[in-house]
Structure 1
Amino acid sequence: MRVGVIGLGDMGSGLARNLMANGFQTCGLDLDDARMRAFAEMGGEPVTSAAQVGANADAVYVMVMNGDQAKSVILGADGLISHMAQGGAVILTATIKPAEAREIGAAMDGSGIHLIDSPVSGGFPGAQGGTLTMMAAGAAAVLDRFAPVMEAVSGTIHRVGTRPGEGQVVKACLQSLIGAMFGATFEAAALAAKAGVSGEVLYNVFSTSSAGCGITNTALGNIIDRKFEGTGSGIGTMHKDLTISLSMAEELGVPLFMAASAMQIFHQGKTKYPHGDNWICTRVMEEIVGAELHR
């Protein structure tokens, strides 16, 4: 089975790497020339358009930034559904609004091309290591057929529904929780810095307590090592994801107090340091309180 990847950034490059490691012929597309060169160097087949990806793949991962980009590469005049062979599948791993995924699914009806709505969790380490958690929504027979392609990039595949948008709904719920956990970790780090606690002490206590988990440990580790850029967790992505969670909550009339507070923390971080990673939010707080948390 031939596979394509559209979007070869921190996440998409990991998808491509693990697909090839599992023996799949993989073509790829990205607007960034450096990413395309890196993809070619790892053994991928660079192409110049979504149409070419579709013509050379039985399954295509779409790992772009937002819904407009997803709609363009899937539904556009030069998009996937006009060039993929009947029976192929688009695996939508980008995190977009549930309504946008439903719109894409409706537009694909009758095309002969399947849509698997499967946003992922695990971030840069999960993508590069092939251990992502997938929240897959699609017909059972389609998920069965393309399971080898999905297993190549993931550690766990949850079948969360059968219709487009259902994967995105679960991801929005997850991100509301992760955002709140990030925000609380950033605040605790700033509090410890001002109180004169060492970063090493705080990390050791947090990581071995009931608060210790991948989210807390990763965030705090990067904060105390002062790694605020280049860790594969750009602040723009989490900011976008929280926007989706809060938008869905507004549509449904559900109050999200913690996620809304986290959104303000990410607002300030993204405004002050738009090219930083998630943990850059702590630096803004440190600047306010006049203290920094170092290992």
Structure 2
Amino acid sequence: MQDVRRAAVIGLGSMGWGAALSLLRADFSVAGCDVRTDVLQRFAEAGGKPCTTPAKAAEATEAILIFVVNSKQAEDVLFGSQGALETAVPGTVFLLCTTMAPSAAISIAERLEAVGMLVIDAPVSGGHLKALSGLWVRVPTKLSSGLRLHSRPFQPRFSGWATGPAPARRSR
């Protein structure tokens, strides 16, 4: 299995910022995308590659973590103008870390999978301080086409990566 070394984090708020810094500490090359220029400047100072569009962040990236506020924003950064799908190649792993309704997660995953992307439905918990330390929890769900193949490279890099005992069942 190829080790994932290039990742993008779209949405550098509390949780996305922590995930991006954890990836940087684990020697990933990390592209970060956010609408706030001051955050992108701090991200560059931390060693990340700041990007002003999701399309730019997705270039030559093997895994893309989506940490935006809601499903509407997730759709925009994925499928909208200058969205990640403009430059992502088939086989890219998308981790949907945004809290959203099950029906929205299913719809987004189906659209991604239809163009050859792999999806891990990965809503997270743990709060800002745990995110900064890498101690956040991925809440398991049934909707995770890329999980078996692509979650292992992340596990040793996030010191607190954990999943529950069994996938939760998503309903429409």
**Which range, TM-score by smaller chain?**
0.7 to 0.9
Q: Distance in 2 between matches of 1:143 and 1:150?
A: 12
Among 15, 19, 27, the residue aligned to 1:15: 19
Could you list the per-position Cα deviations for residues 195-249 of structure 1 after superposition, in whole angstroms to 9, with x for gaps in the alignment?
xxxxxxxxxxxxxxxxxxxxxxxxxxxxxxxxxxxxxxxxxxxxxxxxxxxxxxx
Q: Distance in 2 between matches of 1:51 and 1:103?
A: 20
Given the superposition, is the C-alpha separation of residues 4 and 45 from structure 1 closer, same or farther in structure 2, using an over 3 Å criterion?
same
Q: Does 1:155 align with 2:160?
A: yes
Which structure carries more helix by proportion? 1
Do 1:116 and 1:136's aligned partners in 2 also have CA atoms closer than 8 Å? no
1:196 paired residue number:
none
Deviation at 1:11, TM superposition (A): 1.2
Partner of 2:35, secondary structure, is: coil
Q: Does 1:119 align with 2:123?
A: yes
Q: Distance in 2 between matches of 1:120 and 1:97?
A: 14
Among 120, 144, 151, the residue aligned to 1:146: 151
5+ unaligned residues in a row in structure 2: which ranges?
A: none
Q: How many residues align?
A: 165
Partner of 1:125, secondary structure, is: helix
Q: Does 1:92 align with 2:93?
A: no
Q: Distance in 1 between matches of 2:113 and 2:7?
A: 22
2:35 paired residue number:
31
Determine which structure has more spread, i.e. the larger CA radius of gyration.
1
TM-score, L = length of structure 1: 0.52
Greater relative contact order, per chain length (Cα 8 Å cut-off, separation 6+):
2
Q: Does 1:79 align with 2:122?
A: no
Partner of 2:21, secondary structure, is: helix
Do 1:81 and 1:113's aligned partners in 2 also have CA atoms closer than 8 Å? no
- State percent identity of aligned pairs: 30
Among 41, 51, 54, the residue aligned to 2:55: 51
Deviation at 1:151, TM superposition (A): 4.5
The answer to which of 130-139 and 54-63 deviates more is 130-139
Deviation at 1:149, TM superposition (A): 2.6
2:114 paired residue number:
110
The answer to which of 91-100 and 21-30 deviates more is 91-100
Among 60, 67, 72, the residue aligned to 2:64: 60
Q: Distance in 1 between matches of 2:148 and 2:79?
A: 21
Partner of 1:157, secondary structure, is: coil
Deviation at 1:34, TM superposition (A): 1.2
Q: Distance in 2 between matches of 1:80 and 1:150?
A: 24
Do 2:155 and 2:161's aligned partners in 1 also have CA atoms closer than 8 Å? no
C-alpha RMSD of matched pairs (Å): 2.2
Deviation at 1:50, TM superposition (A): 0.7
Partner of 1:149, secondary structure, is: coil
Q: Which amino acid aligns with 1:156?
A: W
